[in-house]
Amino acid sequence: MEYERLEKEVARRSALMYIPVSLGAASLFYLAASLVGGYPPVARIGGMVWVGLLSLIVSMPIITSRVKRQARGQ
């Protein structure tokens, strides 16, 4: 019972960290693509979605393992 509660808390705290990281990376990509070149809106939005998904995939296991380590008290 305690283990399940701890896992839910770790998952919630992790999501509160990696989702803003991914949204921030996607927003920075959109801003950079808008300022640097004359890319069409479809390319900017598509790139933003792609960067957001990739950063989510990369940051999720890294942040979750770090939060889990902190929850265990190490």
**23-56, pLDDT tens digit by residue?**
999 999 999 999 997 899 999 999 999 999 999 9
Q: What is the mean pLDDT of residues 8-26?
A: 95
Say what the pTM is: 0.85
- Rounded Cα gap, residues 8 and 14, in angstroms: 10
Look at residue 11 in the predicted model and tell me its pLDDT.
93
Sign of CA dihedral 50, 56, 59, 60: negative
Residue 68: band (very low, low, confident or very high) from pLDDT cuts 50, 70, 90:
very high
Residue 74: band (very low, low, confident or very high) from pLDDT cuts 50, 70, 90:
low
Do residues 51 and 33 touch, judged by C-beta distance below 8 A?
Answer: no
